[in-house]
Amino acid sequence: MGADVNVLLRPAHVNAMTNERNSLRVQPEPSTNGENWIERLLFDDAREHRDGYLADDGFTARVMGKLPATVAPPAWRNLALMVMWGAVAIAIATVLPQVFVDASREVYKLVAAQPVSLSGIGGALLAACALTWGAAAYTFRAAD
C-alpha cells in the first residue's frame, strides 16, 4: 500500500524513469538462501531507496539562484569588433599593396571582360550587401 501511494505521489517523469530502469535491470533478484542474505539485504535496501522520491521543496529554486549570473557584454563591444575587423582589412591592404593591386586588376579584367548590364550591377550589389550583412550578423552573434 505504501509503495502504491509513493508511486501516485511521484511526478510522472520519475515513474517513467523508474520503469525504464526496471526494464533495463541486469542484476537478477538474489535468492533468499542463507549464504545470500547480505546480497538480499542490499538488494531490498536499494529497492526501497530507489522507490522513494524526495520532494523538491524549493531545491531547484535554490540551485538556480546560485548559478553564476550571465555576464552581458558591454554595449561598445559590437562597435569595437567591427572597427577591429575594418582595421585588419585596411592593414592587410596597406601591407600588401602590390598583391592587392594585382588582385584588383585581375578582378577588373574578369568583370570588364563581361558585358555590363544593369542586372549584373544589381546582382553584384546584392552579393556585396549579402556578404556585408552576413559578416555583421556573424560578428554580432559571436558577441552574444
Residues that bind other proteins (CB under 8 A): 2-3, 6, 11, 13-14, 17, 21, 25-27, 32, 34, 37-46, 48-56, 59-60, 62-64, 66-68, 70
Q: What is the distance, to the nearest Å, from the Cα of residue 70 to the centroid of all Cα atoms in its chain? A: 15
The position carrying cell 538462501 is 33
∠24-55-1 over CA atoms, to 5°? 65
Task: Tell me how far CA of residue 19 lies from CA of 13, 22, 27, 79, in angstroms.
Answer: 10, 5, 15, 54
C-beta closer to other proteins: residue 21 or 105: 21
CB of residue 54 to other proteins, shortest distance in Å: 4
CB of residue 139 to other proteins, shortest distance in Å: 19
CB of residue 24 to other proteins, shortest distance in Å: 9
